[in-house]
Amino acid sequence: MLVVKKFGGSSVADKERIFNVARRCIEDYEKGNDVVVVLSAMGKTTDGLIAKAHEINPNPPKRELDMLLVTGEQVSVALMAMAMSSLGVPAVSLNAAQVVMHTSSAYGSAKLKRIDAERIRHELESRRIVIVTGFQGINKYDDFTTLGRGGSDTTAVALAAALHADVCEIYTDVEGVYTADPRVVPNARKLAEVSYDEMLEFASLGAKVLHNRSVEMAKKYGVKLVVLSSLTRAEGTIVKEETKVERTLISGVAADASVARISVLGVENKPGITFRVFNLLAKNHINVDIIIQSVTEPGKKDISFTVAKTDLSDTMDLLRENRESLTAREIVSEEGVAKLSVIGAGMCSNPGVAAKMFEALYSADVNTEMIATSEIRITALIDERDVKRAMRAVHDAFDLAD
């Protein structure tokens, strides 16, 4: 069997944890399996590197930032290979340039395009455990790139797909995927199984337990994905195409505070203006989520929408440069907001879900500013300070606890 095992930052945070991971990998290896290990940077290393960069330059060139960030993962893979070697097991660490993991050129948010599997296969044939840096790639200029925060999950799934692995195990600091973030909602329930589509909604709407592109890729290539704890032996959550568990209305609640709201105020209320706004954003590769339009005074309207906080300053610059052609009186932004979503493939045919969610928010005295729905989610934009209270209230209202 070929197994890809990915361990996140907290699972390799210190010497004890590194040896814990080394032993768990060696267990698999000693059963005769081929073992490929993907690691994140130790603990909060990536946050530390970003802070360091900003001390030197508040707006660091993206290429140089990636050059810095990739060092975090190289530390953990090298130390892991040393740990395994000290336990008497042959292991080799490889970075993205050595593998090679080819990505698009977008520094900071590169997409994996192709993986050369020969080197890894060769090392596996020599009966070595292969330890690969997560989160990083190489672009067409032979520069290092990174895949976006949390991107090591995607490295693992991509390797599992390229190597036709039997399973891709994502080890983290909780025991699987829960009905809500177990750190915010202590009585959240662990899901035995979750479908790719629901998991994709969870991941895209803020449940950072899996990087959303890793789920997309697992679905595309049919990779069997399991989320489990590196610290306990509890059974984890299986992510797969269809789940045999009886469909419940709602599978969970997620929150995302990494968004900001932008309002383009007082534009002319005539055909084509809305198109101009969103066409401008699309051409500049800026993703927009919740959108709302309202007529405020005769002949004028306001257009509001959310973007990722990391896109906020670029988006504001772009809109302000084009303020006149957009006929806008003013463009304003607000960072203290968060998206709160309920997710469930069973909700599309049930009109009661929205009412129940808003009743719960009302009872918890949480104001909703904007709302978006799809077949399998309802999202409300709320004040960032209300997130925890809102999440618990909605989780309770849908009886999601054990």
Contact positions vs Mg ion (CB under 5 A): 8, 150
183 belongs to the binding site for ligand ADP (CB under 6 A): yes
Q: Would you count residue 43 as binding ligand ASP (CB under 6 A)? A: no
The smaller minimum CB distance to ligand ASP, of residues 258 and 279, is found at 258
CB-based burial of residue 49 (10 Å sphere; 0-12 exposed, 13-18 middle, 19+ buried)?
middle
- What number of residues does the chain have? 402
Residue choice 22, 41, 68, 345 for contact with ligand ASP (CB under 6 A): 41
Residue indicated by tokens 């890809």: 4
151 contacts ligand ADP (rule: CB under 6 A)? no
φ/ψ (deg, to 5) at 202: -50, -50
Q: How many CB atoms lie within 10 A of CB 19?
A: 16
Cβ atoms of 47 and 69 within 8 Å: the answer is: no
Q: Could you tell me how many residues of this chain bind ligand ASP (CB under 6 A)?
A: 12
**Residue list 31-50, contact with ligand ADP (CB under 6 A):** 40
The interface partner of residue 46, options being ligand ADP, ligand ASP, Mg ion, none and the CB cut-off 5 to 8 Å by kind, is: ligand ASP
Q: Which of 217, 158, 168, 156 is nearest to 1 (CA)?
A: 168
**Residues in 122-181 at the binding interface with ligand ASP, rule: CB under 6 A:** 134-135, 149-152
Single out the residue of 159, 57, 44 nearest to residue 100, CA to CA.
159
180 binds, among Mg ion, ligand ASP, ligand ADP, none (CB under 5 to 8 A by kind): ligand ADP
Task: Tell whether residue 178 is a contact of ligand ADP (CB under 6 A).
Answer: yes
In Å, what is the CA distance from 187 to each residue of 27, 140, 178, 180, 399? 33, 47, 10, 9, 10
Contact characters 223-262, ligand ADP, x per CB under 6 A: -----------------------------x----------
Q: Which residues pair with 172 in a beta bridge?
A: 229
**Positions that interact with ligand ASP (CB under 6 A):** 8-9, 40-41, 46, 72, 134-135, 149-152
**Positions that interact with ligand ADP (CB under 6 A):** 8-11, 40, 150, 172-174, 177-178, 180-183, 202, 207-209, 252
